[in-house]
Amino acid sequence: MSLIGSLFTGVSGLSSNSAAMEIIGDNLANVNTIGFKSRKAVFSDILSTILTNGETTSQLGRGSQLQGTLQIFTQGSFEASANALDLAIDGSGFFVVNNGTGNFYTRNGQFRLNDDGLVQAITGEILQGQNITTGTVSTTVSDVDLAGVQSAPQATNTFTLGANLDASSTAATTFNSPIAIFNSVGTQLILGI
């Protein structure tokens, strides 16, 4: 092996590791990105074959190269959200979204309603799904449309309260004090117990 060949072999290894570091950097940069799935570098050998009179006489290693990347689809953790349209997939699968020209697949479940009542991804694509009418699932896939879909309101008639009582108080002072409870929209409810 010549000096130039030896240097090429070393440089190919540095180049391969540089590409692997870029993949690791991308994984770290996107660690908190919704729906992100990390990748893993896959390497392969570079071999040089010398032919003499149609026969292989030697095969020398010429270094390494980045063969490609593998997408890792292991299940991530779920997080709480205040948006009712933030969705997550447990297990394998993708959300299907459409941008008007074709379908795309994503694990990012951050959705919102657009002005037409369609469920839309943050990037503008419309979520696709199958309609269910009286328990029958449609065979066609269409835009998820929530325009005009509203459930009838139902008054709350019971609730559960967990509280710590002051051990030094008497029953008369503890149970004659009003309790203030705030609901999710900040309205204060006073209960006289």
pLDDT tens track of the chain, all 193 residues?
A: 566 667 777 888 888 888 889 988 888 888 777 777 788 888 888 776 666 666 666 666 778 888 888 888 777 778 888 888 999 888 888 899 999 999 999 988 899 999 999 999 989 999 999 988 888 888 999 999 988 777 777 788 777 777 777 777 766 655 555 555 555 555 555 454 4
- CA–CA gap between residue 95 and residue 123 (Å, rounded): 14
Sign for the CA dihedral angle at 114, 118, 119, 120 comes to: negative
Q: How far apart are CA 182 and CA 189, in angstroms?
A: 6
DSSP for residue 116: T
The reported pTM is: 0.53
β-bridge mates for residue 103, sequence order: 98
Per-residue CA distances from 170 to 46, 62, 132, 173, 174 (Å): 84, 86, 57, 6, 6
